[in-house]
Amino acid sequence: MSMLNPFATDAFNMVALTTAVNKIPTSFGRLAQLNLMPPEGVRLRTILIEELNGVLTLLPTMPVGAPATLGSQAKRRVRSFVIPHIPHEDVVLPEEAQGLRAFGSENDVEALSALLARKLALMKAKMEITTEHLRMGALKGLILDADGSTIYDLFSEFSISPKSISFALGTTGTEVITKCLEVKRHIEDNLRGEYMTGIMCLCSPGFFDALTTHPKVKEAYSRWQQGQLLFTDNRTNFMFAGITFEEYRGQATDIAGNVRKFIADDEAHFFPLGTASTFRTYFAPADFNETANTIGLPIYAKQAPRKFERGTDLHVQSNCLPLCTRVECLVRGTKV
């Protein structure tokens, strides 16, 4: 092994680094924890979503031996989506790698692996919060870039009118349970043959506070709190009218220094849980020679020497597109 350039070993090639970065445990992302949009690797940067406008109909009983009813051909429409390319780079400088073996008896490769693990963990964390932002966009039907520009308006793509319900939580007499039932009926009517295990709502702090202090909800929330252990966070998993409510405070700072909240103030977003194919996160392969025509992975990593060997550049990238293919099942709620 060359002591001048330990990065030249197979321990730091693209496959090894990519494996390492994908093994780092996920540390951020409520939507990742919920596994709402499971990952699916694809071979190309463009995916096709086929829409079948089939209608579920009741089949009549027939006498034994009678001709069977015939299914009609559903109208098909194919839409294409380009998977966004998200690259990020960092650098390992010579002074960072100098004298690493002083901490113990590890060799150059082991010491550099530990250094790279720290670098890759930070880089992966940035990718995770970016993926969370994209997933929340898909959950709202409007996938936004880091600068706030629109990547995909799913309602427009699928020719669906967004559903928004005013909960009027500032009004004492509002029957909140009726509002919740309106949400449930809308989602149930628009599943179109899909199944679900429940309905969840991720809401801003303002919406959550207004909901749990509303006269029509306050008593139910108080009883629910009494059933929780004292150390339980009472902003999660509150169920009312068959809907699980949870405060969501995801936010991130963009390159310009602006803090972007993933859910706007006084808003909430309702969606079905446990569906089979409504939500997916598609990952395309990296733009490396080695990854052409392979199945995409969540994150890729690679290193290359800097000019005059004045350090080593680290490159990570994700080619990620979360999608909701039944955007008619998404409901936006407002506090007023």
Residue 293 carries which side chain, given as an amino acid letter? N
Position with higher pLDDT, 192 vs 46 = 46
Tokens (6 digits) for 112: 């550099």
Q: What is the mean pLDDT of the chain?
A: 87
Q: Domain locations in the chain?
A: 9-51+78-334
- DSSP state string for 89-105: EEEE-HHHHTTGGGGSS
Q: What pLDDT does residue 37 have?
A: 96
What is the rounded CA–CA span in Å between residue 156 and residue 92?
44
Question: Residue 284 has what DSSP assignment?
Answer: P
Residue 93 has a pLDDT of 87
HSE value, Cβ hemisphere, 13 Å, CA-based, for 335: 18
The single-letter code of the amino acid at 334 is T
Q: Which two tokens stand for residue 257?
A: 């220094």
How confident is the model over 193-246, as pLDDT tens digits? 889 999 999 999 999 999 999 999 999 999 888 876 655 677 888 999 999 999
- What's the token pair of residue 47? 């995916």
* CA–CA separation, 272 and 216 (whole Å): 24
Q: Is 72 helix (H, G, I), strand (E, B) or coil?
A: coil
- Angle at which helices 14-23 and 108-140 cross, to 10°: 60
Contact between 126 and 138 (Cβ < 8 Å): no
Q: Which tokens is 222 given?
A: 């108080």
CATH number of the 9-51+78-334 domain: 3.90.1690.10
Reduced to 3 states (helix: H, G, I; strand: E, B; else coil), residue 26 is coil
Spatial contact of 318 and 75, defined as CB atoms under 8 Å apart? no
User: pLDDT tens, 33-59?
Assistant: 999 999 999 999 999 887 765 444 555
Residue type, 148: G
Q: Which of 129, 118, 135, 96 is nearest to 21 (CA)?
A: 118
Strand runs labelled E in 225-311: 238-240, 243-247, 251-253, 259-261, 267-273, 279-283, 300-305
Is 285 in a helix, a strand, or coil?
A: coil
pLDDT of 95 > 70? The answer is yes
> Hey, is 151 helix, strand or coil?
strand
Residue pLDDT, tens place only, 278-326: 999 999 999 999 999 899 999 999 999 998 888 889 999 999 999 999 9
- pLDDT, residue 96, reads 81
Nearest residue to 161 via CA among 196, 202, 190: 190
